[in-house]
Structure 1
Amino acid sequence: MPVVREFTLPDLGEGLTGAEIIRWLVEVGEVVAVDQPVVEVETAKASVEVPCPYGGVVTARFGAVGEEVPVGAPLVTVAVAASEGDDDAGGSGNVLVGYGTAGHSAAPRRRRVRPVQTRPAAVPAPQPTAQPAPRPARSGPLPVISPLVRRTARELGVDLATVSGSGPDGLILRADVTRAAAAVVSRETSAAAPEPAVAWDDDVVPLRGLRRTVAEKLSRSRREIPDATCWVDADATGLLALKDQLAARAAAPRIGLLPLLARICTAALARHPDLNASVVTEPDGTPTGIRRHRAVHLGFAAQTERGLMVPVVRDAQLLTTEQLAAEMARLTEAARTGSLTPAELTGGTFTLNNYGVFGVDGSTPIINHPEAAMLGVGRIAAKPWVHDGELAVRQVTQLSFTFDHRVCDGGTAGGFLRFVADCVENPGELLRYL
């Protein structure tokens, strides 16, 4: 007889405790192979497709699109052959690199309380995937299994006892809570609005996944870091000429402007190692020391459809300019396709932000916590400039440098920025330090 195995959301690592369901990749009744991806989820770090270590027929799915699922909560149940469903057969164990599966982890799995369901002994026939009709609210324990649902109800002022759940066995989902809150607002607005007034409802976009993480980091950075910014205009005509010269070599990999700026950053940090640092703090934010990093893990801003991401080039100081270009191109493509791993989005020690691609001249960015500094590069535009004692039209950019004033003073920051500007104006100067 087939045995029904439950596959739960695996440990995601990086301190992550849950993920949001983006889309289901399988239907109830569908036959899946071992290690076949069954759902795509978005964590606070990246979006990933989660493969199931069991092969068989999908008998149930848990969680709707947009719902946040905690680690250890069930994702799907799969009916497998009896020989594969024995206790000593724990699946392939290959859910994700670094992610544990049931039967392969020594740590106990965390489960959320949910109504007891009678599992069929045999493989059920495929069922329609339409959502069941909402059930009326019941007395006794509320069928709510997600802490997120309870928190959402508290924030929206919704009494869960009045909510009809649309999930299995009357399970109350987050969508049920938000619909109930919207219905209350709509009734109150309609009652208060005089005829023929029109009630306009504002859209509230929840901060979830990556956007929520970015918001939290920026808020913490603004609270904790006493930042300051200095800037300087630089003649980038020579740097553009170098880029064009390297591009003319058709056989070689393309080296754009960003890798050249990254190379300048690593050279500048070698001369000013105090800036490749982070402040050590107590849990209450009290600073206790400055950690100087030996390696330069260079983050760079990449705009994607999911928002701003900052992939990190590991050990950037050890790479050639050509290798920097290749790695930055790889990470940029991964950011755009949503396939960056958590490790590729964390651990940076310095950030390069080329906001000039948006057509702006300057900016005072917020430091990427817990780093101590960030270099910003504005657009490169033709401007009048005194060159070799004569007025000429040159390609000019504005460089800004935002730094943690606890790590260094204005003299160190100014020296760093001046070195960067000199290298932008005379790229050959880099040969002195490479």
Structure 2
Amino acid sequence: MKRFKKIIGITFIILITGVCIIAYLNYPKLTILTGYSAKNMSSSVFIANRSLEYTDTNDNNFDPVSFAEDSINKNKKTAIASVFGLKERKAIYREGLGSVLIDENFDENAPVLVPNRTIINTGLSYPYGELEQKDTIFSSVDYKKIDDAITSIFDTGVEKIKKTRAVLVIHKDQIIAEKYTDGLDKTSKLLGWSMTKSILSTVYGVLEKQGKVDINDNAPVQEWQSDERKNITIHNLLQMNCGLEWDEDYGSISDATKMLYVDADMTTAQIHKKAIHKPNEYWYYSSGVSNLLSGILRKQFKSYQEYLDYPYREFIDKIGMHSMLIETDMAGNFVGSSYAWATVRDWGKFGLLYLHKGNWNGEQIFNPDWVDYVTTPSPTSNGDYGGHFWLNAGGFYPDAPRDMFSANGFQGQRVFIIPSKDLVIVRFGLIGDAGVDFNTFLKEVVSAIH
């Protein structure tokens, strides 16, 4: 018995020592780690209506985030995370604005403006209304092949490798396949992560149609006017080839992680970076650029309320994406790089808007040639990137159509748009290409439509 207790004691000491070593080695990162955990927990509980337990088990269960201990206060709508009491971070939820990480200077009781939303009941079936679609069977579609392809990217039994949460396939405006993992359904809101960048790009497309912005104009950034950065255009920012320094690394303390989990105003992080290349000569993916564009967007309006209302009034609510919420930072800016939530079906509507070249049931939301713009490869991107959309022009997925383009997000969030097949495919999950063979999946779905 004594021997057994000794073994247990030694094992316990080893475990505690190991945890302490991990905590020590990652201490500089704890602010980012606990910030991620608190923010994600708050959004999952108060936007998506999922429980703390569900979020800990599914969304926050990867290392090193899993070391964080979370708590929520449903009455105050707050979430707090720490690691053994260290580096405690707090996120609060505000109706209409979503969740935001706060610092000690933030006034939680200050009054805030929120977007005005308009919900239109059209009396039509999905996707143009709130009613269920009428069953339509296409003789040109091999439904079993599509179902098999979808099943292949979901985990079975106890395995947790592919981590797909939801798939939606729309052909000729009809849902032809839809599947969710346990605990989620068509009403569940899911975070698009960097698919938000494509939402932001679309707002610029709407502004352009209305004659309120010229994307070829120089970016209105006061800090750049006395050096070579003054020649950077909005177009350069949308194509992510502005030539500015940036570190988009989510495994370390980087420009991207400091912006998302430390900065009060996320629109300024990219502003203060030096030029290391000339515009239009070097492509580099930067979430800082997207949030800078959100800040430039804010400058297009005379009031903050107009800024908050515009994306919803002129685009999101017009196409019935009523579940969508774009979260704001402490300074009140839309986090255009990362934080848009919506149901899978509403993300599907976004894909359809591009499939129909900006026309939504007869109303032109943005000019048809905006699709040509966002699908034109950015120089030096190897045909992989356009105007805040990912492209397959360079054959990244060799067995998928070259005309395919997509909104992509962290952990494999995807809205694939395939004009040649009149097809939109939405996939949500907790891992991307490292766990899912998207090339084979796309190949199988596309080949099932004749």
- Greater fraction of residues in helix: 2
Assess same fold via TM > 0.5: no
Please report the TM-score for the alignment, with normalisation by the length of structure 2.
Answer: 0.21
Q: Whose relative contact order is higher, 1 or 2, with alpha carbons under 8 Å and at least 6 apart?
A: 2
- Greater fraction of residues in strand: 1
